[in-house]
């Protein structure tokens, strides 16, 4: 199956070769991804042990994102789709990224890196250190850029993954009008 036909919240990060090369040329997020990917490959068994230890003491364990990237994603999720944090969207995306292809992981980290770049360029601090008003103003600026702008593309990808994940949860479905009832088609429909 080709990448463009794959479904799921992270399909927004499965890009064609040209887009990937353009993203690599900007260098945004590459260092973060490279260090994280290398650590994951070199310390697979150690990461599994750390995950088990963290889970046993009641702390949520991250499977792919480091704590800085997770905090950034958690803030962005809540800023883009309020209620995402309570619906555990960042945790879901972290677990989903852990089993995705290296290309999808890299593209996701580049998108997060674009937000970090924008925050540092505008305010000199990482995204997670922005005041709520600063973050809102920056999100508004990024989301109104032309479609070809790399920051706008990063926004669209993160927004797509967050929104699709959130509106797949019980909370999101209820927000869309689902009343909790499950309806199945009668067997006669199946032929």
96: which 2 tokens? Answer: 């989903």
Q: Regarding predicted confidence, which is higher, 4 or 85? A: 85
- Contact, 171 vs 81, CB < 8 A? no
**pLDDT of amino acid 74:** 96
Question: What pLDDT was estimated at residue 3?
Answer: 46
In this prediction, residue 80 carries a pLDDT of 95
Distance between CA 150 and CA 40 in Å, rounded? 27
pLDDT digits (tens, 9 = 90+) for 32-89: 444 444 444 434 434 444 444 444 445 568 999 999 999 999 999 999 999 999 999 9
At 182, is the pLDDT very low, low, confident or very high (cuts 50, 70, 90)? confident
**Across residues 87-112, what is the average pLDDT?**
94
**pLDDT one-digit tens code per residue, 132-176:** 999 999 999 999 999 999 999 999 999 999 999 999 888 888 888
The predicted structure's pLDDT at residue 187: 67
Domain boundaries, the chain: 7-172
- Dump pLDDT digits (tens) for 15-33: 454 444 444 444 444 434 4
Nearest 5°: CA angle at 11, between 9 and 13? Answer: 110
**Please, which pLDDT band fits residue 5 given cuts at 50, 70 and 90?**
low
């Amino acid at each position: 199956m080709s990448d463009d036909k794959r479904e799921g919240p992270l399909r927004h990060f499965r890009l064609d070769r040209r887009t990937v090369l353009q993203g690599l040329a900007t260098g945004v997020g590459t260092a973060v991804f490279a260090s994280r990917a290398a650590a994951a490959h070199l310390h697979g068994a150690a990461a599994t042990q750390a995950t088990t230890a963290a889970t046993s003491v009641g702390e949520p364990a991250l499977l792919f994102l480091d704590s800085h990237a997770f905090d950034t994603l958690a803030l962005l999720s809540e800023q883009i789709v309020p209620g995402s944090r309570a619906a555990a969207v960042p945790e879901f995306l972290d677990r989903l990224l852990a089993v995705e292809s290296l290309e999808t992981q890299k593209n996701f980290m580049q998108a997060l890196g674009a937000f970090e770049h924008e925050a540092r360029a505008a305010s000199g601090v990482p995204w997670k250190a922005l005041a709520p008003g600063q973050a809102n103003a920056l999100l508004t600026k990024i989301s109104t850029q032309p479609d070809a702008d790399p920051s706008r593309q990063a926004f669209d990808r993160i927004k797509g993954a967050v929104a699709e994940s959130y509106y797949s949860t019980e909370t999101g479905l209820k927000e869309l009008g689902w009343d909790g009832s499950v309806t199945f088609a009668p067997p006669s429909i199946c032929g």
